[in-house]
């Protein structure tokens, strides 16, 4: 049997299905109720025990640098000792119920109340309250479950963060979720711990029975319950390759990208959530050059409010551990539609309501995000990056919104970062050609070569038929990058590249010779880009660039570089 969901944390795992506490109430028949006062005492003891266990798990995670998991576990510890929940359970006990039944009823009542509220964040906390109720019952009844043997694929419609946080290290091989998307806590935590995860399996999840063996693929989003020997062998090979890749990553983590004649290019990382930021720091990133904030907005019916955004950005900033973090404002539209923000249908969405245009047309949405970023800036160095700018008017308008947000936060006495650097994504030919004037209005440029290439070459990046045409090594794209670096130089601001081109070792010498100071890329590509930079000199890089610039096509440039820079 093969199930298909969405891959939300990469990697392959082979193990046994483990379905914690899903067979109805986590309440064994063997529970013997005491008198009401004994039940009250058992409830207080269970609450204290669970809170202590969660705090202990939080401490362990924090020591291991998993701040995000630790924060969540601490919040759950507070919830386990929540006086309101306990008082409501005590009333149930006084009305004649035993402690497990009382706690489930109290949690259900609180969850239902949360679900009826307008605030999205509070509504979403209902699932957490139910989790706490179940955990309290397990603690009360001593109902620790016996785990299946060997590596575990933890499976459930929803899986609570504490279950993931508490499972013994080394036993948890994968996470399979019926609901959710890449943004549910379980998926984020799985990613933070480098554990493969598949979400969105829906009702098909019921076919996965406790103890069954299965092979899951967190890249493809699949689960196979009857893998052949060849499937398992291929998976094992992939696991070994991933381990080697991780080793390579560690070997290169302490090495800087410096040419043989001593010119350094700084390597930053692209990320979407705090867990990726942490992994990037472990891989030796000098900071986050592009935090794609839209990740927080995907796969949900309502927009995240300021508080939720603030928490997400602050977690990213904290994970960067004092290194700079460039948070890009919402880049939706084009190939990134949002369920929570329906945009009008357009004939050419890539040329329509997208990115900064969406933000400037909706000041409420924009300012909510800006305030959240500015507040996160109080936790560490942040900058704001504007996507898809075409001229200075957009930057000026954005600055006015930022100034208004600073003013509001100041008046409200909320702490925030002042003078946050403002960067422009240079990803339209217009921005590249106007770089010298745009540079007067911002503090840095970041070249979005994915879009710059599609707009310069009129080659839709989401159309597979255009894949051959949309090559960033095209001499026209190289020239646009040259304009941008020149404009940045005139304005005295740094220029980085954060599109996929930054991860291509063939492009590295050209970007060095063009005068790009920083690259921002997926950390997985750090070793190969560092290697490409470390083996060249600037005169060699300049000679390659000069030849490439004068070639007629991208194919000619690619062939030429491949012949000069063999793997």
The residues that are catalytic are: 185, 498
413: exposed, middle or buried (C-beta count within 10 Å: 0-12, 13-18, 19+)?
A: exposed
Strand partners, 153: 17, 174
Of residues 425 through 444, those in contact with Mg ion by CB under 5 A are 427
When binding is defined by CB under 6 A, the residue of 200, 289, 499, 523 that contacts ligand PEP is 499
Q: How crowded is residue 28: how many other Cβ atoms within 10 Å of its Cβ?
A: 12
Among 253-261, 338-346, 401-409, 422-430, the segment contacting Mg ion (CB under 5 A): 422-430
Based on the shown chain and the rule CB under 5 A, indicate whether residue 448 belongs to the binding site for Mg ion: yes
**449, interface contact from ligand PEP, Mg ion, none, CB < 5-8 Å by kind:** ligand PEP
When binding is defined by CB under 5 A, the residue of 98, 451, 504, 540 that contacts Mg ion is 451
SS (H, E, C) 308-364: HHHHHHHHHHHHCCCCCEEEECCCCECCECCCCCCCCCCCCHHHCCCCHHHHHHCHH
Nearer to Mg ion, 93 or 358 (CB): 358
Of residues 285 through 314, those in contact with ligand PEP by CB under 6 A are 290, 292
**177, interface contact from ligand PEP, Mg ion, none, CB < 5-8 Å by kind:** none
Nearer to ligand PEP, 128 or 451 (CB): 451
Minimum distance from residue 426 beta carbon to ligand PEP (Å): 9
Q: Distance between alpha carbon 379 and the CA centroid of its chain, in Å?
A: 18
Alpha-carbon span 405 to 376, nearest angstrom? 13
Q: How crowded is residue 236: how many other Cβ atoms within 10 Å of its Cβ?
A: 12
Alpha-carbon span 481 to 495, nearest angstrom? 10
Binding flags for ligand PEP, 312-351, as an x/- string (CB under 6 A): -------------------x--------------------
When binding is defined by CB under 6 A, the residue of 450, 486, 537, 547 that contacts ligand PEP is 450
Alpha-carbon span 255 to 252, nearest angstrom? 5
Minimum distance from residue 129 beta carbon to ligand PEP (Å): 36
The tokens for 154 are 């933890």
Pair type for strands 518-521 and 495-497: parallel
Based on the shown chain and the rule CB under 6 A, indicate whether residue 518 belongs to the binding site for ligand PEP: no
DSSP element (H, E) containing 282: helix 274-282
Minimum distance from residue 348 beta carbon to Mg ion (Å): 16
- Total length of the chain: 567
- By the 8 A CB rule, do 210 and 11 touch? no
Nearer to ligand PEP, 120 or 471 (CB): 471
Minimum distance from residue 94 beta carbon to ligand PEP (Å): 57
Q: Tell me which residues touch ligand PEP (CB under 6 A).
A: 290, 292, 331, 427, 448-451, 498-499
Q: Tell me which residues touch Mg ion (CB under 5 A).
A: 427, 448, 451
């Amino acid at each position: 049997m093969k199930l298909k969901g969405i891959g939300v944390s990469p990697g392959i795992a082979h193990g046994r299905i483990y379905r914690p506490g899903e067979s109805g109430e986590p309440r064994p028949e063997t529970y013997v109720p005491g008198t009401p006062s004994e039940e009250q005492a058992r409830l207080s003891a269970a609450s204290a025990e669970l809170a202590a266990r969660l705090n202990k798990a939080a401490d362990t995670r924090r020591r291991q640098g998993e701040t995000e998991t630790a924060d969540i576990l601490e919040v759950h510890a507070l919830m386990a000792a929540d006086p309101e929940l306990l008082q409501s359970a005590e009333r149930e006990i006084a009305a004649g119920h035993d402690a497990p039944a009382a706690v489930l009823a109290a949690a259900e009542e609180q969850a239902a109340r949360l679900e009826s509220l307008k605030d999205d964040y509070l509504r979403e906390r209902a699932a957490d309250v139910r989790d706490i109720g179940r955990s309290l019952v397990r603690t009360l009844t001593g109902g620790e479950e016996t785990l299946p043997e060997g590596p575990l694929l933890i499976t459930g419609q929803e899986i609570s963060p504490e279950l993931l946080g508490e499972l013994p290290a080394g036993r948890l091989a994968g996470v399979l979720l019926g609901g959710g998307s890449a943004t549910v806590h379980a998926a984020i935590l799985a990613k933070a711990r480098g554990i493969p995860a598949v979400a969105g399996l829906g009702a098909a999840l019921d076919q996965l029975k406790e103890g069954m063996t299965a092979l899951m693929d967190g890249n493809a989003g699949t689960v196979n319950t009857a893998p052949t020997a060849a499937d398992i062998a291929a998976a094992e090979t992939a696991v070994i390759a991933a381990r080697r890749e991780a080793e390579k990553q560690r070997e290169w983590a302490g090495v800087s990208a410096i040419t043989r004649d001593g010119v350094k290019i700084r390597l930053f990382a692209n990320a979407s959530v705090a867990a990726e930021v942490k992994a990037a720091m472990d891989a030796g990133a000098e900071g986050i050059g592009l935090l794609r904030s839209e990740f927080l907005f995907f796969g949900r019916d309502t927009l995240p409010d300021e508080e939720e955004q603030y928490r997400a950005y602050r977690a990213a900033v904290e994970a960067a551990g004092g290194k700079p973090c460039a948070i890009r404002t919402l880049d939706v539209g084009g190939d990134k539609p949002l369920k929570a923000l329906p945009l009008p249908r357009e004939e050419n969405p890539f040329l329509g309501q997208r990115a900064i245009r969406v933000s400037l047309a909706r000041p409420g949405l924009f300012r909510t995000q800006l305030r959240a970023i500015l507040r996160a800036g109080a936790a560490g160095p942040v900058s704001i990056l504007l996507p898809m700018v075409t001229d200075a008017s957009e930057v000026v308008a954005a600055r006015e919104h930022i100034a208004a947000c600073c003013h509001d936060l100041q008046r409200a006495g909320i702490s925030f970062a002042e003078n946050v650097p403002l960067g422009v994504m240079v990803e339209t030919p217009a921005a590249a050609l106007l770089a010298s004037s745009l540079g007067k209005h911002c503090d840095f440029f970041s070249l979005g070569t994915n879009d710059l290439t599609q707009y310069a070459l009129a080659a839709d990046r989401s159309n597979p038929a255009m894949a051959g045409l949309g090559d960033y090594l095209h001499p026209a794209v190289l020239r646009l990058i040259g304009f941008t670096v020149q404009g940045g130089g005139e304005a005295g601001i740094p220029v980085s590249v954060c599109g996929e081109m930054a991860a291509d070792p063939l492009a590295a010498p050209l970007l060095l010779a063009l005068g790009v100071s920083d690259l921002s890329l997926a950390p997985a590509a750090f070793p190969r880009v560092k290697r490409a930079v470390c083996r060249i000199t600037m005169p060699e890089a300049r000679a390659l660039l000069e030849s490439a610039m004068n070639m007629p096509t991208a194919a000619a440039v690619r062939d030429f570089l491949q012949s000069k820079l063999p793997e």
